[in-house]
Structure 1
Amino acid sequence: MTPAAPFGTVLTAMVTPFKEDGSLDLDGVQRVAKHLVDHGHDGIVVSGTTGESATTTVAEDAETLAAVKDAVGDRAMVVAGVGTNDTRTTVELAQQAEKLGVDGLLLVTPYYNKPGQRGILQHFRQVVDAVATPVMLYDIPGRTGTKIALETFREIAEWGRVLAVKDASGDVTQAVALRELGFAVYSGDDALTLGFLAYGGCGVVSVLGHAAGSQIRAMVDAFLAGDLATAQQLNTRLQPALAAVMGAPNYGATTAKGALQLLGVLDNRTVRSPLAALDDQEYAALREGLTASGLL
């Protein structure tokens, strides 16, 4: 049986395309969104980490969301990344996204501030109480510096409107406990997606999906249909691409944009400082990895 997947099964945290001068490229936003939906996705996360949300403005986030919704219509669920390390800004982003009619909100643990569990609960509660849109929490201690404790998840489970967790903690076994608490669990790490599914996960929020959406969809569908051998074969085939995507500094926006340029979806791989776009050597390595996995 397919586990409940409230925000879709195969999602990608999509990049935010920029023009070569660094300004927002809304035409590129729509091309990427359509590309994802045309290649296996039933959900899209907008303005997440891979969307360089730390360097986009509240107004740019609204423009990006509106462009994505216009591009995909009802073909995929749209989840807005609204997490920041300032509760007031996060509430503003959440309310803005809700007015734009998103299907869900992605709420990451406040980063850099490193609040304790009481502070994390306070932050999440204020945001959840400010909106009626369902929420997916995002646990990624490697970036935020703080892991959400199981006791914190247990208290949040009583709130009712937090439906899912994107788990990038590196511990697939945590999926068992989170499911027991009633959360849908999404893999937040492409390298561990098959493992999360085995532990009861319902899907993935991917980065590799920019280039391998159809293949990831086939892998997930095969596993959920009970065809483990096919799922393993597909996962094995994706390993060179995965290594290439993870092989450049701050894998995510830099490699995803490079992949989209190689696929002809974007005409540049511009990222905003402090990120640096892939250099020619890194770009060639990415091409080699995607080619080895049959994606180019």
Structure 2
Amino acid sequence: MKKILLSLLIAIGLGVSNNNKVEIPACSIVETKEEKQDKVTENIQTQRDDKLENYVIGVVAGEMSVSFPYEALKAQAVASRTYAVRGANGNKNFDYTKLKQNYISVDKMKKMWGKSFDENYKKISQCVNATQGEILEYNNEPILAVFCSTSNGETENCKDVWGQDLQYLTSVESTGDKYSPYYNGTVTVSAKTVKSIFGSENIAIKERTSAGYVATVSIGGKEFSGEKIRTTFHLKSCDFTITRNGSDIVFKTKGYGHGVGMSQYGAVYMANNGTKYIDILSHYYKNTNIKKI
């Protein structure tokens, strides 16, 4: 952060957001020792909140395009904050940047946005400030608020991808994903490469999940998960088809990412059609509620 620290603090809303306002007294009052201690505690808490909120700004900037509508950016802010709070697990000194979210620093934002930095940073920080301290909970615990770029039109069940039966991460319709620039993809791999990795070039889809993603693939009589194939050949999605083209094997995909949780382009579609961020979140994360921490 190369600007004056005070400017940055004002930009992110330190102590002056609607939900965390530091009240300025109308007249001078002599404070007791206890009142002074309360203010010290409040200031410490504010600093802790700012560490998290600054991180969320960096994640929203890294995970979504600044051109996305406000409500989609707000939904991303809540999801990313929830993921961070769950990851910290109560550790006040936790380094949020170690989490698997695409966090970018202010310096990187400046390089990425150039002359548009001030305008873009203001938009992102406004969306984060509008949701300050909000996280998603299920059974009074922060949820695993995973998200993906684009689904195949339906998000995936967490159980089918990672084996965890989380009731708030079940398959839901996400019709707007077909408008995502990442909805369709193609990867071509030589049959020789497939054989060198798996011992055979005879590959076929064996089973799909209820949401249409590939669950298992058979290669030379051995079974592998669709996720294994996705990561091995850098496919955009686990919803893929397999065709042979001479000495090559062609994978055609629908969607981008693991498909679990909120679809970012689905959120954009919903926001563009007037859906508020709270309703976007409740659509993708079933039976959750928002809590302010």
TM-score, L = length of structure 2: 0.24
Higher normalized contact order (CA 8 Å, seq sep 6+, divided by chain length): 2
Structure in which a larger fraction of residues adopt strand: 2
Structure number with greater Rg is 2
TM-score, L = length of structure 1: 0.23
